[in-house]
Chain A
Amino acid sequence: AQSVTQLDSHVSVSEGTPVLLRCNYSSSYSPSLFWYVQHPNKGLQLLLKYTSAATLVKGINGFEAEFKKSETSFHLTKPSAHMSDAAEYFCVVTRPDSSYKLIFGSGTRLLVRP
């Protein structure tokens, strides 16, 4: 069964320090993977996507993620956290039965300390 696991429910960093949000997936085939961000009282905004092209994917707002097939990981990183990065982050994969259907991870809440 396809699934996606976000290893940390909460991550707290100081402003200006690096961010690492971890995501592992299990799959019998190569899914498309995404990171979405949800700010309070807002919908979801796409940060980046991986669709079997370059393994290092650059997204918006300085975020990037590296697809590592050998580790079945797709961790999200940012070199320097900003206060505005505080939000909920979701790692998402496509389902094997339909590339239009998505499976969401449980989410990681990022707290940025001043």
Chain B
Amino acid sequence: SAVISQKPSRDICQRGTSLTIQCQVDSQVTMMFWYRQQPGQSLTLIATANQGSEATYESGFVIDKFPISRPNLTFSTLTVSNMSPEDSSIYLCSVDSGDGNQPQHFGDGTRLSIL
């Protein structure tokens, strides 16, 4: 299975600032996904990032708040913009298995706290 590295693993940020989270995969993958896990909650899909096209956002998430880049088949970034305490969450990236038959593999996540 793919090995996924996320950076940073955790951060504490001031409100109003922005943070970019990186997701690096050790193999080429078609689809990458970004999830949010709010404290004590389950995971919610933010967007799907495909190389060569704009990210597709789920209901409730917008590009201005969560801009995503996907410059190649092994890398993606998620920026959390103009952060507020409500953005304190774990942000996880995942990738498709590559054989068209799930499952997804997940990184260890970025634990973000906003003061």
**Which of these, A42, A99, A104, A105, contacts B102 with CB under 8 Å?**
A99
Q: Are B102 and A100 in contact (CB under 8 A)?
A: yes
Residues of chain B in range 81-114 having any CB-CB distance to chain A below 8 Å:
92, 94, 96, 101-109, 111
Known contacts A34-B103, A44-B92, A49-B103; A101 and B45 CB within 8 A of each other:
yes
Q: How far is the CA of A36 from the CA of B106 in the complex (A)?
A: 10
Residues of chain B in range 53-107 having any CB-CB distance to chain A below 8 Å:
92, 94, 96, 101-107
Report which residue of A90, A100, A106 has the largest number of chain B beta carbons within 10 angstroms of its beta carbon.
A100
Q: Are B104 and A43 in contact (CB under 8 A)?
A: no
Q: How far is the CA of A100 from the CA of B92 in the complex (A)?
A: 16
Q: How far is the CA of A44 from the CA of B95 in the complex (A)?
A: 12
Report which residue of B1, B41, B106 has the largest number of chain A beta carbons within 10 angstroms of its beta carbon.
B106
Q: Are B48 and A90 in contact (CB under 8 A)?
A: no
Q: How far is the CA of A37 from the CA of B48 in the complex (A)?
A: 22
Residues of chain A in range 65-107 having any CB-CB distance to chain B below 8 Å:
90, 94, 99-102, 104-107
**Which of these, A42, A102, A105, A107, contacts B104 with CB under 8 Å?**
A102
Is A51 an interface residue when CB atoms closer than 8 A count as contact?
Answer: yes
Q: How far is the CA of A41 from the CA of B48 in the complex (A)?
A: 24
Nearest Cβ in chain A — how far from B44, in angstroms?
Answer: 8
Is B31 an interface residue when CB atoms closer than 8 A count as contact?
Answer: yes
Q: Are A94 and B109 in contact (CB under 8 A)?
A: no
Q: How far is the CA of A46 from the CA of B105 in the complex (A)?
A: 7
Q: Are B96 and A100 in contact (CB under 8 A)?
A: yes
> For residue B94, which residues in chain A have a CB less than 8 angstroms away from its CB?
44
| Chain A residues proximal to chain B, CB less than 8 Å | 32, 34, 36, 41-46, 49, 51, 90, 94, 99-102, 104-107
| 22 CB-based A-B contacts, threshold 8 Å | A32-B102, A36-B106, A41-B108, A43-B6, A43-B92, A43-B107, A44-B94, A44-B106, A45-B106, A46-B103, A46-B105, A49-B103, A51-B101, A94-B102, A100-B96, A101-B33, A101-B45, A101-B48, A102-B45, A102-B104, A104-B42, A106-B42
